[in-house]
């Protein structure tokens, strides 16, 4: 799956992913949110907010399935 496709379909893909894949996405989103919020040349509050929203969506899907985040 191409990177842009991953971003475009982030929310709609969650229901079809395995728990393992959800955990991988959660780690990816957490890392991207942290990097976007970090001080320095790459700081982007808008991107950090978007990645936190994606992270929450993954957490919500894991909770819906009865898995711990």
Predicted confidence (pLDDT) per residue in 8-48, tens digit: 899 999 999 999 999 999 999 999 999 998 887 678 889 99
What local confidence, expressed as pLDDT, does residue 22 receive? 96
Q: What is the pLDDT of residue 10?
A: 93
What pLDDT, on the 0 to 100 scale, is given for residue 1?
52
Confidence (pLDDT) at 3: 63
- Coil, helix or strand for 67? coil
Look at residue 62 and tell me whether its pLDDT is greater than 60.
yes
- Distance CA(9)–CA(7), nearest Å, equals 6
């Amino acid at each position: 799956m191409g990177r842009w496709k991953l971003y475009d379909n982030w929310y709609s893909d969650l229901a079809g992913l395995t728990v393992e894949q959800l955990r991988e996405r959660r780690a990816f989103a957490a890392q991207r949110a942290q990097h976007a919020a970090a001080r320095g040349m790459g700081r982007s509050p808008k991107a950090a907010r978007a990645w936190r929203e994606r992270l929450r969506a993954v957490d919500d899907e894991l909770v819906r399935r009865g898995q711990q985040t």
